[in-house]
């Protein structure tokens, strides 16, 4: 499954790297992070969606739409 997330509060390349690092730490390998969004490929939708939101929040940003 692949899903796009809209992320609030990102403003620079450092923000992108922070989200990428947290997604990697959460065990995700296939993703594309841009300013204000992330497209992530994953299995087991319900469990992994919670992990994705938690990883983005850990990086200091808020998911506003999925």
* pLDDT in the model for residue 45: 84
The domain segmentation of the chain, as residue ranges, is 2-65
* pLDDT in the model for residue 66: 86
* pLDDT in the model for residue 19: 98
Q: Helices 13-25 and 45-58, interaxial angle, to 10°?
A: 140
What is the rounded CA–CA span in Å between residue 33 and residue 39? 6
- The reported pTM is 0.94
Q: How far apart are the first and last CA of the chain?
A: 13
CATH of segment(s) 2-65: 3.30.70.100
pLDDT in tens, the chain (66 residues): 999 999 999 999 999 999 999 999 999 999 999 999 999 999 888 889 999 999 999 999 999 998
């Amino acid at each position: 499954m692949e899903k796009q997330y809209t992320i609030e509060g990102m403003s620079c390349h450092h923000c992108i790297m922070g989200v990428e690092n947290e997604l990697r730490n959460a065990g995700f390998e296939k993703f594309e992070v841009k300013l204000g969004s992330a497209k992530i490929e994953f299995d087991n939708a319900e469990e992994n969606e919670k992990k994705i939101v938690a990883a983005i929040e850990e990086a200091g940003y808020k998911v506003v739409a999925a």
